[in-house]
């Protein structure tokens, strides 16, 4: 027990540090030393939570709604979530059995994956993918099998996905619109996924946290295609759609046995989502205008940034259809982790390495959740730096 690390459980040792958080800490250290940093690293809307939502939380607190709620969350919000999704998908959703509120979509993902996977199981994901999926599987001791998306358009790899599925595969996890690529799966891909789910008895976890941030084309919810909650778990929340990252509220809609298992986990971990936040979300779910305005702003930033990228020799980027990131391919002989460190230290810009999203090729992710001038200035500085090191 002399070695500090050995005193930790194997589970604690397995859990990785978040790649995006590591960069944020480094950026903070430089700022403390007086360096000015342009933050294009983390996925946090640079908008305030709409006032009506804040007022709803305040009202709830003044009304004495400050105690625990039931662990699945307040029924009026679960009813509203069920109503909205039934309208969109024409699938019957029982708010008492098929819905649970959790402290963020991340907590939903955690409880869902922990409810399904044993250490001998595996989960299939499409790379590039958000790193927490793998972090959660590692916590359990289960395996993540990654299948590369089409690198021309980041489309769903229908031809290769089946090769990754074996008798220990329990979950296929999809994320559309995707963080980091912004790709949105078309109807054909979703039908294909639904067929694989039936043929292989797989749960489909569909992370739809960015579904309200869509710039082009029609967004199809997976549930509107699978038409059943038997093997479907929809993960969503209010962090991105209503600029509520710090409030910590997300939810899962799904198979009632899995929801019930998630509820047991929640009872032992956090009890419930903090109560004023639940009332704030009850207001948020009826507000569409603030999201519409944010999407409009992200779209303008995306278009201007893509215009600039097209003028730079060192970059290329597929125009994202949704979410608020640019996944930029760069042309220089340096690994993405080393590049982003150099960008931070020498150009004063924080971005995220492609390797964080399990990509070997030369990419970095830039968040559009920052002011336009910062995005454009950040891109110019990175372009200059790459020209220097090439």
Ligand X SMILES: Cc1ncc(COP(=O)(O)O)c(C=O)c1O
The 7-46 contact track toward ligand X, x by CB under 6 A, reads ------------------------------------x---
Among 59, 148, 158, 245, binds ligand X (CB under 6 A): 245
- Measure CA 118 to chain center: 23
Residue 262 in contact with ligand X, rule: CB under 6 A? no
Contact code string over 188-217 relative to ligand X, x by CB under 6 A:
-------------------x-x--------
Burial class (CB in 10 A: 0-12, 13-18, 19+), 106: buried
What CA–CA distance (Å, rounded) separates 262 from 256? 10
- With CB under 6 A as the contact rule, the residue among 19, 45, 95, 250 that binds ligand X is 250
Contact by Cβ (8 Å): 272, 69: yes
Tell me: does residue 182 bind ligand X (CB under 6 A): no
> Of 93-122, which residues contact ligand X (CB under 6 A)?
104-106
Q: Which of 115, 175, 291, 367 binds ligand X (CB under 6 A)?
A: 175
CB 71, CB 96: distance < 8 Å: no
CB of 104 to ligand X, least distance (A): 3
Q: How many residues bind ligand X (CB under 6 A)?
A: 13
Choose between 93 and 105: whose C-beta lies nearer to ligand X. Answer: 105
The total of other beta-carbon atoms located within 10 Å of residue 11's CB is 11
Q: Based on the shown chain and the rule CB under 6 A, indicate whether residue 328 belongs to the binding site for ligand X.
A: no
Among 71, 179, 194, 367, binds ligand X (CB under 6 A): 179
**Taking a C-beta distance cutoff of 8 angstroms, is the pair 81, 95 a contact?**
yes
Q: Does 226 bind ligand X (CB under 6 A)?
A: no
H helix intervals, the chain: 10-14, 19-32, 51-62, 75-89, 105-116, 132-140, 158-164, 187-200, 223-226, 256-269, 275-284, 289-311, 336-342, 372-389
Q: In this structure, is the dihedral angle defined by the CA atoms of residues 30, 34, 37 and 41, taken in order, positive or negative? A: positive
Could you tell me the two tokens for 231?
């093997």
**Residue among 45 and 312 whose Cβ is closer to ligand X:** 45
Residues near ligand X (CB under 6 A) are 43, 104-106, 130, 175, 179, 207, 209, 237, 239, 245, 250
């Amino acid at each position: 027990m002399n070695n500090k690390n050995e005193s930790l459980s194997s589970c604690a040792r397995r859990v990785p540090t978040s790649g995006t958080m590591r960069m944020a800490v480094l950026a903070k250290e430089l700022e403390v030393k007086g360096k000015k940093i342009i933050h294009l690293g983390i996925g946090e809307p640079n908008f305030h939570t709409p006032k009506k939502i804040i007022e709803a939380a305040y009202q709830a607190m003044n009304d004495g709604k400050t105690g625990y709620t039931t662990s699945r969350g307040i029924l009026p919000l679960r009813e509203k979530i069920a109503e909205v999704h039934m309208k969109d998908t024409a699938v019957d959703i029982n708010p008492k059995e098929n819905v649970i509120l959790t402290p963020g979509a991340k907590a939903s993902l955690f409880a869902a994956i922990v409810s399904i996977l044993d250490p001998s199981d595996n989960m299939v994901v499409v790379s590039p993918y958000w790193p927490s999926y793998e972090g959660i599987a590692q916590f359990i001791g289960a395996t993540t099998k990654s299948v590369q998306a089409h690198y021309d358009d980041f489309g769903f790899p229908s031809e290769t996905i089946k090769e990754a599925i074996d008798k220990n595969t329990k979950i296929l996890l999809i994320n559309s619109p995707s963080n980091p690529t912004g790709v949105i799966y078309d109807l054909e891909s979703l039908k294909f996924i639904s067929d694989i789910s039936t043929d292989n008895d797989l749960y489909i976890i569909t992370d739809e946290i960015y579904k309200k941030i869509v710039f082009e084309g029609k967004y199809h919810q997976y549930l509107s295609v699978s038409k059943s909650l038997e093997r479907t778990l929809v993960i969503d929340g209010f962090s991105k759609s209503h600029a509520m990252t710090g409030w910590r509220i997300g939810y899962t809609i799904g198979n009632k046995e899995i929801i019930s298992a998630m509820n047991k986990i929640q009872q032992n971990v956090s009890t419930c989502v903090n109560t004023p936040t639940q009332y704030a979300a009850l207001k948020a779910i009826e507000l569409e205008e603030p999201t519409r305005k944010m999407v409009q702003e992200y779209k303008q930033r995306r278009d201007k940034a893509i215009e600039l990228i097209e003028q730079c020799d060192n970059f290329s980027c597929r125009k994202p259809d949704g979410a608020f990131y640019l996944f930029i391919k760069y042309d220089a002989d340096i690994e993405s982790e080393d590049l982003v460190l150099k960008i931070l230290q020498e150009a004063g810009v924080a971005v995220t390495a492609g390797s964080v999203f399990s990509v070997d090729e030369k990419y970095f992710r830039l968040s559009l959740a920052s002011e336009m001038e910062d995005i454009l200035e950040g891109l110019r500085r990175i372009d200059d730096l790459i020209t220097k090191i090439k």
